[in-house]
Amino acid sequence: MSEQEEQLTGGNTAESVVRLGSTVRKPVTSSTPAVHSLLAYLQAVGFEASPAALGIDEQGRQVLEFVQGSLWSSVGTHTQTDFRRVGTIIRTLHDAAASFQMPEEAQWNVRYEPDERDLICHNDLAPWNLVCGADRWVFIDWDAAAPATRLWDLAWASIAFPPFEPQCELPRAATAMHALLDGYRLQRSSYGKLIKLMVKRARAEHDFIVEGAQKGQEPWARLYVEEHHRYWGPVSDYIDQNASALEELLASLKGSLHQTSKIER
């Protein structure tokens, strides 16, 4: 008896994502060859927090490793140790990706221009893309991987994981963000620049959804109807208005002994 495909839910942009046995099948994009070369490289250097890329199936779909576990966003309460673990995973990813040699013909899915282009980043490091298994935590959905910077990638995670909301308890969000940055080993001198990029990234996401909807482009028109832009715009404003207070809170919190490596961007 052949295995049945199981529709997977939770994604916002892919048209159809299914599970077939121990694999995930999803549509190919123009960036798929480049993304699969990145995933193959990460696997080769021992990075365990990304799924294996297994090629293209007979229907022309991407084939990726299915990772057992629950999404971070569905788990519930998280400890400071959990946030530090996320930060450590992101740091390990960036350190590994820094030595990745991009194929000359590589095409990447760049939604909007990052601050700079230093290395290939995931660009959607968020609770809805982190599968937490018993022995392994894995970031999925690499279709938005593209050249950016460490802080550009980290800014997105710093918004999404605490999470920051348009009207949230700033000390609580700052404590979670600090644990994540502590796991990443980010120097305090970089906090101000990171916060500015958080504002910029959230605003860019808002504008991208609005502009996509105005042009009738999917899935952005659907995301606009679902009012995703009403999160990203206000949260950008909230972080901007509280930037000084947030930086002071982060600086006042005690870090671990691992916070020694300097990341400028």
pLDDT digits (tens, 9 = 90+) for 133-154: 999 999 999 999 999 999 999 9
Residues linked to residue 192 through DSSP beta bridges, in sequence order: none
Residue 244 has pLDDT above 50, yes or no: yes
Dihedral pair phi/psi, residue 211, rounded to 5°? -65, -40
Please report, as a single letter, which amino acid is at residue 261.
S
Q: What is the pLDDT of residue 211?
A: 87
Percent of the chain with pLDDT over 70: 92
Nearest to 125 by CA among 55, 67, 201, 195: 201
Pair 197, 151: CB distance under 8 Å: yes
Poorest-pLDDT segment among 47-51, 76-80, 192-196? 76-80
**How far apart, in whole angstroms, are the C-alpha atoms of residue 241 and residue 235?**
10
| Strands annotated E in 130-237 | 130-132, 137-139, 146-148
Mean pLDDT of 59-87: 94
- C-alpha 65: how far from chain center: 18
Q: What is the pLDDT of residue 124?
A: 96
Instruction: Give the confidence band of 103 by pLDDT, cuts at 50, 70, 90.
Output: confident
Q: What is the pLDDT of residue 220?
A: 76
**How far apart, in whole angstroms, are the C-alpha atoms of residue 116 and residue 110?**
12
**Between vectors from CA 218 to CA 213 and to CA 223, what angle results, nearest 5°?**
60
Q: What is the pLDDT of residue 256?
A: 60
Residue 9 has pLDDT above 80, yes or no: no
**How far apart, in whole angstroms, are the C-alpha atoms of residue 44 and residue 34?**
15
Count of beta carbons in the 10 Å neighbourhood of residue 29: 17
Whole-model pTM?
0.91
Pair 214, 191: CB distance under 8 Å: no
Residue 258 has pLDDT above 60, yes or no: no
DSSP calls for 40-94: HHHHHTT--SSPPEEEE-TTSEEEEE---SEEHHHH----HHHHHHHHHHHHHHH
